[in-house]
Amino acid sequence: MTAARRQTTTRPASAADARAYLDKALEFLRAAEDSLELGNRVAAAGNAVHAGIAAADAITAARATVVWKGEHSQSPAHLERVGGDDGRKAAPHLRRLLPLKNRAEYDPDPISAAEAKAAVTAAARMVRIAELTVKQVER
């Protein structure tokens, strides 16, 4: 990827932005957990995906002062590249979540209970990593 292309797929972010993204991730995670408990599998998966994306933004904002603004399919590689050890730990969870994004938002096919539960688990793991990352930056 060229430097010009890389510049167009990220935007600057601050420690305050990292906290804001973490707060969003926590809110989406809570919605995902509540939806799962209610048996709303599509909402659980969709909110889990958004929690994971927001957690990734919190990690990269905290570690590299940038967030990804390109195609979501490329964001796990960005997370690994600029997010340090935390990004490398979180990226596999994001890779599990992203394939559910279009299915949860646009496709008529259902999300199974197992898929919804796995999505919420992956999101919870990402949010936990993001919480630790942001706390380190806020010290």
What pLDDT, in 10s, does the model give residues 114-124?
999 999 999 99
What integer pLDDT is reported at residue 7 of this predicted model? 47
Domain 11-138 class?
A: mainly alpha
Contact status, residue 109 vs residue 35, Cβ threshold 8 Å? no
The β-bridge partners of 4 are none
Q: What is the pLDDT of residues 80-127, one digit of tens each?
A: 999 999 999 999 999 999 999 999 999 999 999 999 999 999 999 999
CB atoms within 10 A of CB 136: 11
DSSP state of 133: H
Cβ 9 vs Cβ 78: under 8 Å: yes
Amino acid at 12: P
Q: What are the phi and psi torsion angles at 39 (to 5°)?
A: 85, 15
Domain ranges of the chain: 11-138
> Would you say 98 and 123 are in contact if contact means Cβ atoms under 8 Å apart?
no
